[in-house]
Amino acid sequence: MKSSTIRVVLSHVVSSTWPIHQIDVNNVFRNDDLQEDVYIKQPPGFESSSPYLVCKYQKDLYGLKQALRSWFQKLSSTLHTFRFHSTKSDTSLFVQFMPSCTIFVLIYVDVIIITGSSRHEVNNLISKLSLCFALKDLDPLHYFLGIKVNCLKSGDLLRSQTKYINDLLRCMNML
């Protein structure tokens, strides 16, 4: 996801006073079967009599190179069935233009940001996605890619990277 895409979407949310939801997909890398054959050496304690035997993965697993691509393909095909299409400028931004409303969906691995001109349609999309995947609806956007976001009553969004900067300074022993 491009940072310019995030800024443009958040600017549009503020200027149009759209609702903005953050959802998290549970166990994202165990949602799909592998399309390729992936083998590993036998783990310690599970060796059979022959050290030349290997184990074959059946499902995606966090850390596999194929897992992220497989998950994104599954999610994007689900969104395509809901009549969303990805933008040419950023493939992680999906849009749906209807006569009555517009909805934007931003994807970063297992975190999904949903906003739109109709609160009802945004909630409807979250309900549809929850039928396909195990989700946690985190309600309004609050923390995303190291940016803390406060939704103010006026409709403004206050963005801050204080936590990210403090964590970075703590990691480098520079507090």
Degrees, nearest 5: CA angle 167-170-175: 120
* Mean pLDDT confidence for 82-106: 94
Q: How far apart are CA 101 and CA 93, in angstroms?
A: 17
Q: Which CATH class is domain 3-140?
A: alpha beta
* pLDDT category of residue 128 using cuts at 50, 70 and 90: very high
pLDDT for position 103 = 96
Cβ atoms of residues 122 and 103 within 8 Å:
yes
pLDDT for position 19 = 86
| Beta-carbon contacts of residue 126 (< 8 Å; ≥ 6 apart) | 21, 23, 114, 135, 137
Q: Could you state, in order of their start, the residue ranges of all structural domains in the chain?
A: 3-140
Q: Which one of 28-37, 51-60, 83-92, 147-156 scores highest in mean pLDDT?
A: 83-92
